[in-house]
Amino acid sequence: MSVLQAVFLGLVQGLTEFLPVSSSGHLTIFQNIFHIDTGNSVLFDVLLHIGTLLVVFLVYWKDICKLIVEAVHMLGDLIHNLSAFLKKGKEEPSYRHIIRTNYRKFVVLIIVSTIPTAIIGFAGEKLIRDASATLIVPGICLLITGLLLFLSDRVENCWKIPKDVSWGEGILIGVAQGFATLPGLSRSGTTISACTFCGLDRKFAVKYSFILSIPAILGAALLEISDIGSETLTGAMIGSYAAGMIAAAVVGYISIRFLLRIVRGRKMRYFGYYCFAVGILAIAGHFFLK
């Protein structure tokens, strides 16, 4: 794979990871159409995702720092309550309320949503790899993504902030992200749609979607670390991979800023039109590009 090919795939990753049109679907389609051989490099795939992950940290760094701080404080309160329970005597122990702010509720919602994502992703790993080797699966999934985007624009009364979101809704959003590991089923489009279907405020829905991607991407990367060690790398390959990662990060930052405006204006249906068009082309390509 040349530097230009790596940069091209990085641009595709950065543009489509945040816009609700499926990065995995587009990467699969372009690799099949243009016969770009990445050598099934796990390292290249991980670096592309790290590039887009850096964008999430850059855009939401204040929220992420706050979530980390609150998570540490929650752990401290849990330890205090456990200690109070073990030491209780005649007097009623003084327990601290753990989930008492929006950010603390958000921390637990991220954990609740991540569990079904991890289960589905782990169980369907082979299916996902097989689906990425063809055009028809991304094509069908892109049609599903388009439908979800159309429906999400029609949802009214999106007002919920963390304190209003139920644990069941958190699980539902995590399940949506788990199924979005299929190529063509946009992770951002699916999770943002799931959030709006649950009545979350649209701005919060975008934040929830992208911060929820952090443990998913990090978890997938950790699972693939053992495979990276078996790859044979050259200086030219490392340079190409780095160029692809940088391209993904730069374009990803522009994409996420653009998406924030689109979601607030309830114009996700325009991406739906695009998903329908590309999905139909991918399905047609499956039959004619033999």
Centre a 10 Å sphere on the Cβ of residue 285 and count the other Cβ atoms it contains.
18
The total domain count for the chain is 1
Q: Supply angle C-alpha 265, 184, 257, rounded to 5.
A: 35
* In contact, 181 and 120? CB cutoff 8 Å: yes
Contacts with 168 (C-beta within 8 Å, 6 or more apart), sequence order: none
What is the crossing angle of helices 187-197 and 136-153, to 10°?
Answer: 30
pLDDT tens column, 246-289: 999 999 999 988 888 888 788 899 999 999 999 999 899 888 77
φ/ψ of residue 34, rounded to 5: -95, 5
232 — pLDDT class (breaks 50, 70, 90): low
The pLDDT of 60-71, averaged and rounded, is 97
pLDDT tens column, 110-148: 999 999 999 998 888 778 877 777 888 889 999 999 999
Which position has the token pair 């082979």? 126
Stated pTM of the model: 0.88
Q: What range defines the domain where residue 211 resides?
A: 3-288
More confident residue, 23 or 153: 153
Strand pairing partners for 200?
Answer: 160
